[in-house]
Amino acid sequence: MSHERRKHLFDVMDEYFKRIEYLFEGPFASGWNEAAQCIEPLYNIAVGSSEVILTVDLPYVDPQQVTIKVPANDTIEINANTKRQITFTDMGVRHRGGQFKCYRARIHMPVAVLESGMTSKFKRGILQVRLPRLL
Amino acid sequence: MDSPKRLMVGRISLAEDVKIIEKGTIPKKFTLINGLPDVGLVGLVAASHVVSSLKMEEVGSVESDLFPPMIVLHDGVPKSPIRLFANGSLVVLVAETAIPASLTRSLADAIVNWAASRNAETVISIGGMAVQNRQDIDVPKVFAALSDKSLEKKLGDAAEVLEEGYIVGAYGLMLKKCAEMRLPAITLLTQSFYNYPDPEAAAAALNSLSKILGLKIEVSDLLQRGEEIRLRARDVMKRTQEEMARMGKSQEYEVPALYG
């Protein structure tokens, strides 16, 4: 029960901060972190009755260069190095500097998950991670 | 300069009109291809590929007081993010920014009204249909929603006809309006990722489009540049996902309650 209460409070705060971020959207909210040379990837979370399926879009990534960590039962960290350096110039944008060598994401899970039993696959440039739910 | 009709709702002034501004020659007989940002950005990626591979000429833009105050620069020239291109008997509409959910109906009405006023022969809209196992699908399947059953002959084996289901967003509204106005319309919906740009799905949609039009659209370049396209389209996909959530896009995956 106390876990449920904490979860509820966290969700309310999370929603609040997302709202603040939306209202005060700044020039660095797009997920291209030039200082860290990392891109925040697009991801999707599907919650099932017994497991959570997380997918992450990782174009230009070598599957051997992906690391997945579960630092807490409601958080997953994804780090992935790109096969080559990516610049804005590659995409026709010449007024912005910056080069990118990795994707990095710290993803909050909507329900608690277990690291043991976690499986992953990389196909079509998409990482799929399946984690059992902590029930 | 004529001013748009305005409808006052409380203290908010809502312009009725989204305008199509023509800047070039519109063919007398044409098929309109719509590439609006949607599931997997299938329409945007496919329509952009048609524009570049057929070297289409810009012939117009879509403008409204209600659109976000933005322009896009291409080759140093300021442009509307929603533009029309033409070549031969094809006119392609491409939106390279997310469409605010609140403007979906106005935009859909404006496009269909313009197409009807210019005597478009057919309206073909290209979009995605999210499937959970997309990662394991090598060749995405293409489905078609039709404004009229008689279009099944024109469709041939290019796509499988959708018989039941919801379509949420501009394409659904456009299909219904076309049906009411007896303007032949086909909405191609290709199996795709929901919130990742999907060039493979766009290529599958274009293969179907080629069959319908009887015009070969080469997609090998689109597939080769898949990773580049996915990365370039990432920011538009993020914005589009927010708008899809606002318009209740997830209802497309629900089953209609009434049965015959």
Q: Using the beta-carbon criterion (under 8 Å), do B194 and A123 form an inter-chain contact? A: no
Alpha helices in B5-130 (DSSP H): 42-53, 104-117
Single-letter code of the amino acid located at B257: A
Q: Using the beta-carbon criterion (under 8 Å), do A57 and B194 form an inter-chain contact? A: no
Look at residue B179 in the predicted model and tell me its pLDDT.
Answer: 97
Coil, helix or strand at residue A133? strand
d(CA B89, CA B72): 27
Alpha helices in B75-198 (DSSP H): 104-117, 152-155, 170-180
pLDDT at A109 over 50: yes
Q: Which residues, listed in sequence order, are joined to residue A86 by a DSSP beta bridge?
A: A100
Q: Mean pLDDT, to the nearest integer, of B156-182?
A: 96
Look at residue B2 in the predicted model and tell me its pLDDT.
Answer: 44
Q: Count the Cβ atoms, other than its own, within 10 Å of residue B210.
A: 15
Query: CB–CB of A125/A134 below 8 Å?
Result: no
Task: For residue range B53-78, list pLDDT tens digits in order.
Answer: 999 999 999 999 889 899 999 989 99
- Residue (of B247, B224, B134) closest to A44 by Cα position: B134
Tokens of B259: 């049965």
Look at residue B260 in the predicted model and tell me its pLDDT.
Answer: 57
d(CA B92, CA B108): 15
Quote the minimal CA–CA distance from B169 to chain A in Å.
Answer: 21
- Pairing of the two strands A119-123 and A126-132: antiparallel
Q: Is B230 on the interface with A (CB under 8 A)?
A: yes
Q: What is the pTM of this model?
A: 0.87
Kindly state the percentage of chain B with pLDDT values over 90.
86
Q: Mean pLDDT, to the nearest integer, of B66-92?
A: 94
Coil, helix or strand at residue B243? helix
For B138, the closest chain A residue by CA position comes to A124
Query: CB–CB of B153/B196 below 8 Å?
Result: no
d(CA B171, CA B173): 5
Alpha helices in chain A (DSSP H): 2-23
d(CA B241, CA B29): 35
Q: Mean pLDDT, to the nearest integer, of B155-171?
A: 95
Q: Using the beta-carbon criterion (under 8 Å), do A128 and B230 form an inter-chain contact? A: no
Look at residue A11 in the predicted model and tell me its pLDDT.
Answer: 61
CB pairs under 8 A between A and B: 47
Cβ burial, residue A107 (10 Å; 0-12/13-18/19+): middle
Task: For residue range B199-239, list pLDDT tens digits in order.
Answer: 999 999 999 999 999 999 999 999 999 999 999 999 999 99
* CATH of the domain spanning A31-132: 2.60.40.790
Q: Mean pLDDT, to the nearest integer, of B70-93?
A: 95
Q: Domain-by-domain residue ranges, chain A?
A: 1-30, 31-132
Domains and CATH numbers, chain B: 17-252 (3.40.50.10900)
For B239, the closest chain A residue by CA position comes to A30
Quote the minimal CA–CA distance from B78 to chain A in Å.
Answer: 15
Read off the DSSP letter of residue B254.
S
Q: Using the beta-carbon criterion (under 8 Å), do A59 and B226 form an inter-chain contact? A: yes
**CB nearest to B135's CB, from A42, A59, A123:** A123
d(CA B198, CA B183): 29
